[in-house]
């Protein structure tokens, strides 16, 4: 049973902001902020972002912040090497799968298609068990902890497990996460680290690898494999395409664009704790040091997502993906409060995806939103019937762990016969706002519109 206070209570969002946004949404689009201060700062006039007066519409403020475009730095030698590794299919058992095969740069480093799970292995016919996540905006992921306490609040409660890489937080660093698919039998499918290193050692950039990591690096396969992860981490950290902040949301918040009336209504609903309540886990306010909103709080939740027959592993009735407590993560097996919990992803570029949740059960944002607001109001729409005719609600989680499912936070806080937290028009408004989180709106905060990246 989830403890009281286990889920994030108010991670930097609140009713006051939602009220201000709702009031602003009822009026004409916002007037753009003056670009002069941003331009001056971008050219060195201000070493630190100055305070920006809130934009006022209908007598209510909508706070914007300035993001100053930075000239992309030249990649280090290690990052350049990581880029070669990232796009190299010869490092897989099949010789045909690279990191980019599943994490396509043309799809925000997410899956290039709508498959619930991708195919890999030595013959590229072995299905995975989880949906491929995006690799964008992972830089600020904190270390995994079982019990997170908000340092910004004096009366903070235990907000539960937070941080770590992968959907179950099982990797402690980006370089560990980057290297893991090379050994996964359903992905690049190498038998051991030495097999990967041997491929690289006879490849076209082996000399570059020696130059970066030492002339004798291949004499120690374990160390060489670790350095492969380090190089991938350097590439994913340094290359701006992994954290471009080129969405319309960023342009609006830097004063170079305006939300439409529909997007502004969706923004209000996104923040309203009694409506969409999305910002509770997908934080939409600046982080430490004024860094742009990440739209993630790195927390974990169990949402009762229906079982997905598109994942071949689910054809075995005894198979369950329990997230934090298995089957891949083994150190939390006995933490039954954690069973069924998966990490909340960033919502940046979510509207550009065609597969959602850890098991890929849904393929459109419309279906995701309807599931959110109808899960317990109309469960017959989402779950199958048992042999006795009863609805098998929460069918992708064993009954022993179903108390872990979130029933407290809107829009999950209502049952059969209740009015949904969002109506059809409001769902469309929220989706319109979420589309402003897609990168590719502008090359920089004040730059021209560019093609999606």
Check if the beta carbon of residue 23 is closer than 8 Å to that of residue 60.
yes
CATH of the domain at 188: 1.10.760.10
**What is the structure's pLDDT at 77?**
97
Q: Which of 213, 242, 271 is the last residue of a domain?
A: 242
Q: CA separation (Å) from 245 to 49, 142, 283, 437?
A: 17, 20, 15, 9
**Residue 254: inside a domain, yes or no?**
no
Shared domain check, 345 and 270: yes
**Does any domain span residue 247?**
no
- DSSP tally for the chain: helices H, then strands E: 12, 6
Q: In whole angstroms, how far apart are CA 315 and each of 137, 319, 322, 327, 342?
A: 34, 8, 16, 16, 21
153: Cβ contacts below 8 Å, ≥ 6 apart? none
Same-domain check for residues 285 and 419: yes
Answer yes or no: are the C-beta atoms of 295 and 247 closer than 8 Å. no
Q: Report yes or no on 214 lying in a domain.
A: yes
> Is the domain of 343 the same as that of 445?
yes
Cβ atoms of 279 and 13 closer than 8 Å: yes
- Tell me how far apart the alpha carbons of residues 265 and 25 are, in angstroms, rounded to a whole number: 5
Tokens of 36: 């002069």
Using CA atoms in the order 21, 25, 29, 31, what is the torsion angle rounded to 10 degrees?
A: -30
**Of the residues 215, 242, 269, the one at which a domain ends:** 242
- pLDDT of 255 reads 86
Residue 238 and residue 312 in one domain: no
Structural domain contains residue 131: yes
107, 350 Cβ separation under 8 angstroms: no
Question: 322, 324, 422: which is closest to 371 by C-alpha?
Answer: 422
Q: Which two tokens stand for residue 82?
A: 């990581």
Q: Can you tell me the distance from the alpha carbon of 116 to that of 102, in angstroms, rounded to the nearest whole number?
A: 12
Report if residue 193 sits inside a domain: yes
- HSE toward the beta carbon, residue 230, CA cutoff 13 A: 12
* 318 shares a domain with 387: yes
Q: Are 222 and 193 a contacting pair, CB within 8 Å?
A: yes
Residue 1, both tokens: 């049973």
* End-to-end Cα, the chain, rounded Å: 43
Could you tell me if 250 and 67 are in contact, meaning their C-beta atoms sit under 8 angstroms apart?
Answer: yes
Q: Is 317 helix (H, G, I), strand (E, B) or coil?
A: coil
CA torsion through residues 232, 238, 241, 242, sign: positive
Are 345 and 316 found together in one domain? yes
17 domain residue, yes or no: yes
Within a domain: 16: yes
CA distance 167 to 130: 9
Q: What is the dihedral of CA 348, 178, 204, 121, to 10 degrees?
A: -100
**Total number of residues shown for the chain:** 453
The reply to whether 84 and 3 lie within a common domain is: no
| Residue 248 forms part of a structural domain | no
Beta-carbon contacts of 15 under 8 Å, excluding residues fewer than 6 positions away, are 272, 273
Q: Are the beta carbons of 92 and 188 closer than 8 angstroms?
A: yes
Token duo for residue 45: 């006039």
User: Are 46 and 165 part of one and the same domain?
Assistant: no
Residues 446 and 314 in one domain: yes
pLDDT in tens, the chain (453 residues): 333 334 333 333 333 333 333 343 333 332 222 222 222 222 233 223 333 334 433 344 555 554 444 555 799 999 999 999 999 999 999 999 999 999 999 999 999 999 999 999 999 999 999 999 999 999 999 999 998 887 766 667 888 999 999 999 999 999 999 999 999 999 999 999 999 999 999 999 999 999 999 999 999 999 999 999 999 999 999 999 999 999 999 999 988 899 999 999 999 999 999 999 999 999 999 988 888 999 999 999 999 999 999 999 999 999 999 999 999 999 999 999 999 999 999 999 999 999 999 999 999 999 999 999 999 999 999 999 999 999 999 999 999 999 999 999 999 999 998 999 999 999 999 999 999 999 999 855 444 444 433
Same domain, 235 and 150: yes
Q: How far apart are CA 244 and CA 69, in angstroms?
A: 10
Is residue 370 located within the same domain as residue 238? no
Last residue of a domain, one of 217, 242, 267: 242
What is the C-alpha to C-alpha distance for residues 193 and 434, in angstroms, rounded to an integer? 40
d(CA 426, CA 169): 33
> 63 with 82, same domain?
no
One-letter-per-residue 3-state SS of 234-258:
HHHHHCHHHCCCCCHHHHHHCCCCC
What is the number of domains present in the chain?
Answer: 2
What is the span of the domain harbouring residue 82?
77-242
**Contact present, 253 and 63 (Cβ < 8 Å):** no
* Helix H or strand E encompassing 120: strand 119-120
């Amino acid at each position: 049973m989830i403890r009281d206070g286990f889920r994030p209570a108010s991670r930097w969002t609140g009713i006051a902001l939602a009220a201000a946004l709702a009031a602003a949404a009822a009026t004409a689009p916002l007037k753009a902020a003056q670009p002069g201060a941003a331009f001056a700062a971008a050219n060195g006039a201000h070493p630190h972002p100055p305070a920006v007066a809130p934009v006022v519409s209908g007598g209510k403020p909508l706070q914007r912040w300035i993001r100053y475009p930075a000239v992309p730095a030249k990649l280090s030698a290690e990052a350049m090497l990581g880029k070669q590794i990232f796009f190299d299919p010869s490092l897989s058992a099949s010789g045909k799968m690279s990191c980019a095969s599943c994490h396509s740069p043309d799809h925000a480093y997410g899956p290039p298609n709508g498959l619930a799970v991708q195919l890999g292995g030595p013959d590229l016919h072995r299905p995975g068990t989880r949906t491929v996540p995006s690799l964008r905006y992972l830089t600020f992921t904190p270390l995994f902890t079982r019990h997170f306490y908000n340092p910004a609040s004096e009366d903070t409660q235990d907000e539960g497990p937070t941080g770590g890489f992968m959907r179950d937080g099982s990797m402690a660093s980006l370089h560990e996460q980057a290297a893991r698919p090379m050994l996964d039998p359903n992905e690049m499918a190498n038998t051991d680290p030495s097999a990967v290193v041997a491929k690289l050692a006879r490849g076209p950039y082996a000399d570059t690898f020696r130059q970066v990591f030492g002339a004798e690096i291949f004499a120690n396969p374990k160390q060489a494999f670790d350095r492969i992860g380090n190089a991938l981490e350097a590439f994913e950290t340094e290359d701006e395409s992994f954290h471009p902040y080129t969405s319309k949301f960023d342009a609006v918040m830097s004063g170079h664009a305006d939300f439409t009336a529909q997007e502004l209504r969706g923004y209000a609903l996104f923040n309203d704790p009694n409506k969409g309540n999305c910002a509770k886990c997908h934080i939409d306010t600046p982080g430490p040091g004024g860094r742009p909103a990440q739209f993630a709080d790195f927390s974990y939740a169990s949402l009762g997502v229906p079982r997905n027959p598109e994942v071949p592993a689910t054809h075995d009735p005894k198979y369950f993906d329990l997230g934090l407590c298995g089957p891949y993560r083994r150190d939390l097996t006995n933490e039954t409060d954690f069973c069924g919990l998966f990490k909340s992803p960033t919502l940046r570029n979510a509207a550009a995806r065609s597969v959602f949740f850890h098991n890929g059960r849904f393929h459109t944002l419309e279906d995701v939103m309807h599931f959110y607001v109808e899960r317990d109001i109309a469960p017959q729409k989402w779950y199958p019937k048992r042999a006795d005719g009863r609805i098998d609600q929460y069918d992708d989680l064993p009954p022993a762990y179903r108390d872990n499912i979130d029933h407290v936070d809107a829009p999950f806080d209502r049952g059969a016969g209740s009015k949904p937290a969002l109506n059809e028009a409001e769902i469309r408004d929220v989706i319109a706002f979420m589309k402003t989180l897609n990168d590719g709106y502008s090359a920089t905060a004040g730059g021209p519109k560019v093609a999606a990246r």
